[in-house]
Structure 1
């Protein structure tokens, strides 16, 4: 009798194992880059990296965002700090790596992070080839623009050499390219010189307790700016039909809808 009960119990376990659906494998999307993407600590709020709202644009049951961007890092220091190798070790087939550097690579006045265009190229190639060696997908992103208008009210190009290198590597190695430099400049131009301040960490004294004396930052984003930049990135995921990502967007809401840019005249930042 006991043997019969044990047999039936084993049979039930086997039937359950074969009939229980296996959850689908999630696509992991790694973000590597600098402070314009990175997660921010509470002490610098409302400064926001565009990687932070990116997760809201995807179905989290299918896509997991792993933001490994770090403040102040160039391609050279990201490698020197051993931030890249752990990602390589963890990469699985069909994962993604979104790669956006340039801000710190071009900083000639900071020799601790500066990277020549030639070395920047070598480092991008390393990221691309090592990602592909793990059967994962690299995507190159030109550095998002800084806010810089001339006297005629025209937004200036602020990453000429490094955006050009990024574009060249993407073409040479047939890597998907998101030209965030160009797209973000166009967005700032649409907002205009004054209204584009809403996209950046621009605070008057007393606006926020983290910045009692105010802040005039034309590089780092407000919550609104980070969301707008994330929208631009996602718009290219859709336009280029990136496998496993374009088909797993979150259902549109007022917060994550990917819509054409507006002039910003009627739009207010989430936390001024």
Structure 2
């Protein structure tokens, strides 16, 4: 074999090693999650309740830090009023991501967190503009579905108005949209009235020490439900071909 022929495989190997080195050395980024209780980290006293942001954090390689800033009971309005958004905005660096999912508390008129439709959209636009100003990447997410079936076993759309507002803002601002409302409704419908209880905080009396009287909650997730919702979000990150998708852990 000639020297030229020997050098070719060596050159190819060197190229692969260099390419792999660049991938490993890719600059770390932070993915910020801002939203409400359906996304938030939970205290031990709330287990087995889980927000979908909890399992979501484990699906990325070592170049990604997931910083879950979602808080129970918050809306776009209260998240801004309490300076929680300012803290995220101040921390953003180029290449970071902000996943934005509100609506559960914005839409309920009896809550102090309520904000009207125009105000909700204005707040979403603010998140987008201030994220882009830092050369970071905003992603809008519609509010995840509540477990609500009619008498015929058909899933009900409980966020029709505010989910559509998110879709409208995403289209107007050319922002990637994860339609978690629609996606989670499809999942719930496929599981049916009874099996879908497994995704939410449904516990019999004495089934868990944190809930000795039992619990029937059709808004907040069990550990299984949180993981299923996180997987829906991850699937859309891939489908949208966001650069972030390249940092999701791949099966060998």
Q: Output the TM-score relative to the length of structure 2.
A: 0.89
Give the distance between the partners of 1:251 and 1:143, measured in 2 at CA: 28
In the other structure, the counterpart of 1:48 is 50
Give the distance between the partners of 1:88 and 1:55, measured in 2 at CA: 20
Structure 1 moving runs of 4+ over 6 Å: none
SS of 1:234's partner is helix
Give the distance between the partners of 1:144 and 1:197, measured in 2 at CA: 15
Name structure 1 gaps, 5 residues minimum. Answer: 1-20, 254-272
Per-residue CA distance 1:224-262 (angstroms, 9 max, x = gap): 00000000000001111101x111111349xxxxxxxxx
Per-residue CA distance 1:14-53 (angstroms, 9 max, x = gap): xxxxxxx994321210000000000000000000000000
Per-residue CA distance 1:196-247 (angstroms, 9 max, x = gap): 000000001010000000000000000000000000000001111101x111
Per-residue CA distance 1:163-196 (angstroms, 9 max, x = gap): 0100000000000000000000000000000000
Query: Hey, which of these two has a bigger chunk of helix by percent?
Result: 2
In the other structure, the counterpart of 1:218 is 218
In the other structure, the counterpart of 2:89 is 88
Give the distance between the partners of 1:79 and 1:246, measured in 2 at CA: 29
Residue 79 of structure 1 deviates from its aligned partner by 0.2
In the other structure, the counterpart of 2:99 is 98
Give the distance between the partners of 2:30 and 2:58, measured in 1 at CA: 14
How many residue pairs match? The answer is 230
Give the distance between the partners of 2:32 and 2:211, measured in 1 at CA: 31
Name structure 2 gaps, 5 residues minimum. Answer: 1-21
Give yes or no for the alignment of 1:132 onto 2:132: yes
Give the distance between the partners of 2:152 and 2:173, measured in 1 at CA: 38
Give yes or no for the alignment of 1:38 onto 2:37: no
SS of 2:247's partner is coil
In the other structure, the counterpart of 2:70 is 69
Give the distance between the partners of 1:45 and 1:229, measured in 2 at CA: 17
Alignment of 1:192-211 (within 5 A): 192-211=192-211
SS of 1:171's partner is helix
Q: Output the TM-score relative to the length of structure 1.
A: 0.83
Alignment of 1:128-167 (within 5 A): 128-167=128-167
Per-residue CA distance 1:125-158 (angstroms, 9 max, x = gap): 0000000000000000000000000001000001
Give yes or no for the alignment of 1:174 onto 2:174: yes
In the other structure, the counterpart of 1:251 is 250
SS of 1:250's partner is coil
In the other structure, the counterpart of 2:188 is 188
Indicate the RMSD between aligned Cα atoms, in angstroms: 1.3
1:28 to 10, 27, 30: 30
Per-residue CA distance 1:44-88 (angstroms, 9 max, x = gap): 0000000000012111x1111000000000000000000001111
